[in-house]
Structure 1
Amino acid sequence: MKSAVLTTLAVAALGVMAAPVIDDVTVLNFALTLEHLENAFYSGALAKYDEKAFTDAGLPSFSRARFVEVGQHEQAHVDFLTKALGDKATKPCTYSFPYTDPKSFAALSQTLEGVGVTAYTGAAQYITSKKYLTVAASVLATEARHASWVAGAVNKVNPWSGALDVPLSPNDVFSLAAPFIKSCPSSNPPLPFKAFPTLEFPTGSKPGQKVILKFDKGSSTGDLFVAFFTGLSQEFAPITKDNSVTIPQDLVGTVYAVVSSNATVATDDNTVAGPAILTFNFDTKGMVIQ
């Protein structure tokens, strides 16, 4: 299991606005924000680690060359979206990524590519232009190929979670991406999204386990629940007074979890904290590998 992206958000650096106005330009600029981040992630790590560093870390000999291709794809996405937006295009920010070697870089690559897939999937509903929707679908397909390749060929875990993927809201994606962004040009157009407080599961959490969560309840006074996003479904588990929750036994693959004040449907309006990213590797029979 990997629990990732759990740091304080640099909200002010991204210029968050209170009232959300999500049109095609906003969606494309949000996509460009993520592509800038991924582009910086790959270019920075590949400049730091040569092929020997990758093989010394136990990664496949072909992995660095393929990561170079992935990085080129992200640069192409940046170039395309920048051209489409013209003078409305957001500029790259200053970033910080918590990898320390090629192996941790590969693990974080899997996380970022997976977040990219959920971002494009969740944002599709806001795109009104069929032309832009086609472009977004094309980028989404490529990001999904990246995520599957990194998971299966490099990190040796399941390359998918099931028949359907998770569509995260822009606010959820914003919450996951913002910790890597330290500062942005003041001229960048503001993004109309809010960041939720972080949610942390213990390292090594598995389905069926009772675990203690770390999160800020804020002003919430009623009962709280964890909503586990898997495919297009949400599964709920109550949080006890000591902040513990029992992870549903049937979860496999990559799962996104938020704390919600609602026991039946989690939305941005009732999200208290999260998302956290949980990865439950499973075998070809659908059984979680312990």
Structure 2
Amino acid sequence: MRTSFITLVVAALSAVNAQPVKRDGGVDDATVLNFALTLEHLENAFYREALAKYDEKAFEKAGFHSWVRDRFAQVGAHEAAHVQFLSSALGSQATQPCNYSFPHHDPKSFAALSQILEGVGVSAYTGAAQFISNKDYLTAAASVLATEARHASWVASTVNGGSGWSGALDIPLTLNTVYTLAASFITSCPSTNPALPVKAFPAVSFGDKPTPGSTATVTFTSTVEASTPLYAVFFTGLSQIVSPIQNGKAVIPSGLLGTVYAVVSTNDTIANDGNIIAGPAILDFPFNAQGQLITY
């Protein structure tokens, strides 16, 4: 159930609007905090709406222990606290919540989507830390990051029965790749919100059930000339693994485990916001306690 729903969510990313948000200059501390607040607003709304929809009986009917909903309520309270914390730090500059649409229909699909959102949150804070110059803000962001990582680990392992991590190192994502993933759940935002220097890339998919070592069909809307060499780049830990795209297909590298983000890039060495043209896709390769890939 967990893996199939992750595939469903990735497919939903095809609805992302690829138009860039108006840039307002460099990335300063306020911009980074507002970027973080944008994500926290999203998570706060996600938990608030879902917990209002699914009561304890719904969780028990879905096969969860009675205390699982209570833990999710604690996670939701943390996200609300993060919103208050960042809003207080930003004052009148704080971005306001948007309107959202989350593709879940029962507690199981809610839990699967929670795993995705918490994982993206961890990668977002990890990737954005480099832009923070104020050490007090950096310490605060690290504190939030640690809590988000605890959320992600608990949901993945205790609730969804998977691993609480993907490896020794987590994946940092760029501002644009994070926004691409978040934008698929945002339907509209207040026009008065501060502009963020980000854009959403077109969606990409790697077939229905991609597995490490297999050849996958890479589907996306290209924004470059047909003759431009393109590469599938797989983010795992602090590493990027590049695979050429030939005739619309790419080999998924062997040995990948856990959560992997994949993009399409025009660069054969490293993918960044300057050369990514599609993605990221979220790929999930579950593994057992012996570190072996689980196949279905």
Structure-1-length-normalised TM-score: 0.96
Partner in structure 2 of residue 34 of structure 1: 39
Partner in structure 2 of residue 162 of structure 1: 167
The answer (yes or no) to whether the contact 1:60–1:154 under 8 Å persists in 2 is no
Give the letter for the 1:115 counterpart.
V
Give the letter for the 1:235 counterpart.
I
Partner secondary structure for residue 213 of structure 2: coil
**Equivalent of 1:286 in 282, 287, 291:** 291
The answer (yes or no) to whether the contact 1:10–1:182 under 8 Å persists in 2 is no
Partner in structure 1 of residue 177 of structure 2: 172
Give the letter for the 2:33 counterpart.
L
CA distance in 1, matches of 2:214, 2:291: 18
**Equivalent of 1:123 in 128, 139, 143:** 128
Given the superposition, is the C-alpha separation of residues 20 and 163 from structure 1 closer, same or farther in structure 2, using an over 3 Å criterion?
farther
User: Deviations along 1:36-79, whole A, 9 cap, x unmatched?
Assistant: 00000000000000011111112232211100000000000000
**Equivalent of 2:97 in 85, 89, 92:** 92
Give the letter for the 2:15 counterpart.
T
1:109 aligns with 2:120: no
**Equivalent of 1:239 in 239, 245, 260:** 245
Partner in structure 2 of residue 199 of structure 1: 204
Task: Indicate the percent of aligned positions where both proteins have the same amino acid.
Answer: 60
Equivalenced residue count is 287
CA distance in 1, matches of 2:23, 2:96: 21
CA distance in 2, matches of 1:138, 1:68: 20
Give the letter for the 2:161 counterpart.
K
CA distance in 1, matches of 2:23, 2:32: 16
The answer (yes or no) to whether the contact 2:18–2:202 under 8 Å persists in 1 is no
Give the letter for the 2:243 counterpart.
A
Q: How does 1:219-258 map to 2 (within 5 A)?
A: 219-221=224-226, 222-241=228-247, 243-258=248-263
Partner secondary structure for residue 187 of structure 2: strand
Residue 214 (structure 1) shift: 1.4
Give the letter for the 1:231 counterpart.
G
Residue 179 (structure 1) shift: 1.0
Residue 204 (structure 1) shift: 2.1
Residue 10 (structure 1) shift: 4.1
**Equivalent of 1:209 in 193, 214, 220:** 214
The 4+ residue runs of structure 1 with deviation greater than 4 A are: none
CA distance in 2, matches of 1:164, 1:154: 22
CA distance in 2, matches of 1:38, 1:286: 30
Partner in structure 2 of residue 273 of structure 1: 278
CA distance in 1, matches of 2:25, 2:219: 28
Q: How does 1:129-140 map to 2 (within 5 A)?
A: 129-140=134-145
User: Deviations along 1:213-238, whole A, 9 cap, x unmatched?
Assistant: 21011224311111000000000111
Partner in structure 2 of residue 9 of structure 1: 16
Partner in structure 2 of residue 76 of structure 1: 81
Q: For structure 1, which runs of at least 5 residues remain unmatched after alignment?
A: none
Moved more, 204-213 or 42-51: 204-213
Structure-2-length-normalised TM-score: 0.94
Given the superposition, is the C-alpha separation of residues 149 and 220 from structure 1 closer, same or farther in structure 2, using an over 3 Å criterion?
farther
The answer (yes or no) to whether the contact 1:260–1:270 under 8 Å persists in 2 is yes
CA distance in 2, matches of 1:167, 1:103: 27
Q: For structure 2, which runs of at least 5 residues remain unmatched after alignment?
A: none
Partner secondary structure for residue 258 of structure 1: strand
Residue 203 (structure 1) shift: 2.8
CA distance in 1, matches of 2:213, 2:94: 45
The answer (yes or no) to whether the contact 1:253–1:279 under 8 Å persists in 2 is yes
Partner in structure 2 of residue 65 of structure 1: 70
